[in-house]
Amino acid sequence: MVTTEKIMKNLIDQVADIITTSKLTIALTGAGISAESGIPDFRSAEGLWSKFDPNEYASIASFMSDPEKVWLMLREMDDLVSSARPNKAHLGMSELEKLGYLHCIITQNIDNLHQSGGSKNVIEYHGNSSTLSCMWCGRRFRSDEKRNEYPPRCECGRILKPDVVFFGEAIPEKALNKSFMLASSAQALILIGTSAVVSPANTIPGITKRNGGKIIEINKEKTHLTDSITDVFLQGSAGNIVSEIVEAVKNIKRQ
């Protein structure tokens, strides 16, 4: 009888084969990769959007009309992000980069955990919460300079905005262009912890697929991509699965 462990081991070996033969491998990560660092994702049962309606708290229009209210949600995120540490998935991804098997990570996350986990080549689609900017006078601050000041204010007196992309704001041009260029030439794309429902990040897998690249998906549950464009689906926690992939890649390298 073939056990689930055996099936998973076989899938891990398949993924390690793809990664070690691919000439250009990239990753697209979402909130699920940081869940094991204590940061809830958005759309799972206990996700952030089950507590805060994104239309009321996560659009640039809501921030402009009532920044103090939006900072109620931002403060909750800030408390979690500031105490979060990279988990096995972040560390495993930076190890793949060091081994030369991962060229770049495109992340939708704002928690800086890929960088603090050692990854060098990271494209941030939705910005980074470690800095705040004044929309009136342009001054910029590090978030930890203004920690426990809610809402944080600029020296000019205005409420500061975190350097993250709200709904209704554009993705940084450079991030878009570089990610589309990489996605079109990637021979393998590793999707980790994303429901792939938010555009334009969710167009990346289709670009790689159309150009003949292999789609590897790591998620604790199926998404709309799993039975459509995903080539290898690894169901479970990102931390465990990424660690097993790194071990399998190292075994191939040792042969």
- Catalytic residues, by residue number, are 126
Q: Which residues of 24-46 are buried (b: 16+ CB within 10 A; e: fewer)?
A: ebbbbbbbbbbbbbebbbbbbee
Tokens representing 107 are 């992340």
Rounded CA-CA distance 221/102 in Å is 24
Interface with ligand APR (CB under 6 A), residue from 15, 16, 27, 35: 35
Tell which one of 13, 14, 43, 206 touches ligand APR (CB under 6 A): 43
**Stretches 5-13, 91-99, 204-212, 217-225: which one binds ligand APR (CB under 6 A)?**
217-225
- Residue closest to 75 by CA, chosen among 130, 151, 153: 151
CB of 44 to ligand APR, least distance (A): 5
- C-beta of 86 vs 154, nearer to ligand APR: 86
- Joined tokens for residue 202: 């969710």
Measured CA to CA, the distance from residue 56 to residue 11 in angstroms comes to 41
Select the span of 37-45, 73-81, 98-106, 209-217 touching ligand APR (CB under 6 A).
Answer: 37-45
Q: Does 124 sit near ligand APR (CB under 6 A)?
A: no
Closest CA to 191 of 73, 112, 107, 123: 107
Q: How many residues bind ligand APR (CB under 6 A)?
A: 24
232 binds ligand APR (CB under 6 A): no
Contact residues toward ligand APR (CB under 6 A) are 30-32, 35-36, 41-44, 47, 54, 108, 126, 193-195, 197-198, 219-221, 223, 237-238
